[in-house]
Amino acid sequence: MRPLDGIKVVTFEHAIAAPFCTRQLADLGARVIKVERPGTGDFARGYDERVSGLASHFVWTNRSKESITLDVKQAHAIEVVHKLLADADVFVQNLAPGATQRLGLDYEALSERYPRLIVCDISGYGLDGPFRDKKAYDLLIQSESGFLSITGSEGEPAKAGCSIADIAAGMYGYTNILAALLERGRTGRGKHIDVSMLESMVEWMSYPLYYAIDGQTAPRQTGASHATIFPYGPFKAGDGKTVMLGLQNEREWKKFCETVIQLPQLQADNRFCSNSRRVANRDELARLILDAFASLSAAQVIERLDEAGIANARMNDMQAVWTHEQLVARQRWTTVQTPAGEIPALYPPGVAPSEEPRMGAVPALGQHSEAILQELGFSSTQIEDMHAVGAI
């Protein structure tokens, strides 16, 4: 038995935030029915063709779901939506601002008709306030939340390489839905969840916000190095390869000086005798470290770091991650089916393969439309009529 077996989720979703949220629910056993626009579907289906002709974003966030196509501007389609919602536990949506209100599918309308239904709205800025109607995409929220102001190199802001704002909002949607299911078990009533990408990212920005409180200077843009701890970041070895390392305390600084760079005299150097001083003099210290590494290969640097108990990592590219020996040793890879064939997929973090997490297929557009309609009691003639008018 999976934790969410028997839970039914209906979702009006596109792009990443809501699909990532509902995929987590599907992983735990929930039945997720994805309502898509006839002909085109979730626009993330067309982002690229990297996975045997399918989009990389889409296959990541949409496994284990059923796809039904509905033109929700038509009365026949809205009738289908209400039949889907009649026994649903959760309704998730991240449509354009105001779209569900115009369709009569906002929380106020739905809660009267389905008092046990949990409604999760995921949006850029939330359902009220002066930014309510602004469109929001991941990079825009990275900028609005201040993330770009502390990321990248000085004068050259850089976005995160993955959809971090979408992921943040999707995870807060997911965890709030789980909490609402527990709460409904006690109260018998559903709940409204209003998750914004901006608030999700600002929560993740709390450390730099507190660092800059009361008008103090914000963390510097320091590329792949830590802005407020040093040495903590990438350093080139003599063979041109990069080693990532990080120190957290004075005990580690002592070991680093003695064992790794073999300059024990730096322990007593006033420029480097605390983290704050090392940060203030990071350029001078970086030169000393790079000089010490110049005669060593990356493998030799890592060997010394391991000997000293200093945290370190390789700077892997995507191909190295696919074959990462730790993931292989822990048997974290499996496969899922797609309309283009079988692809590898990572098991959900925290879930053991022996627990048999749900790793179902990525659906083709509208793949389950007729089966779902039949399940809801529509006859073949009615389904044909809906096809004829483009309602499905």
Residues marked as catalytic: 226
Exposure pattern of 185-210 as b/e (b: 16+ CB <10 Å)?
Answer: eeeeebbbbbbbbbbbbbebbeebee
Residues 255/228, Cβ–Cβ less than 8 Å = no
Task: In whole angstroms, give the CA distance from residue 244 to residue 224.
Answer: 9
Helix H or strand E encompassing 294: none
Closest CA to 109 of 93, 96, 125: 93
Task: In whole angstroms, give the CA distance from residue 297 to residue 237.
Answer: 5
3-state secondary structure of 226: coil
Task: In whole angstroms, give the CA distance from residue 361 to residue 342.
Answer: 9
For the beta carbon of residue 20, count every other beta carbon within 10 angstroms.
Answer: 24
Sort residue 158 into left (φ over 0), alpha (ψ -120 to 50) or beta.
beta
Residues 126/198, Cβ–Cβ less than 8 Å = yes
3-state secondary structure of 123: strand
Task: In whole angstroms, give the CA distance from residue 309 to residue 303.
Answer: 10
Q: Which amino acid is at 37?
A: R
Residue 224: HSE in the Cβ half-sphere, 13 Å Cα cutoff: 13
Residues 291/283, Cβ–Cβ less than 8 Å = no
Residues 251/257, Cβ–Cβ less than 8 Å = no
Q: Give the largest Cα separation in the chain, rounded.
A: 86
Task: In whole angstroms, give the CA distance from residue 55 to residue 60.
Answer: 9
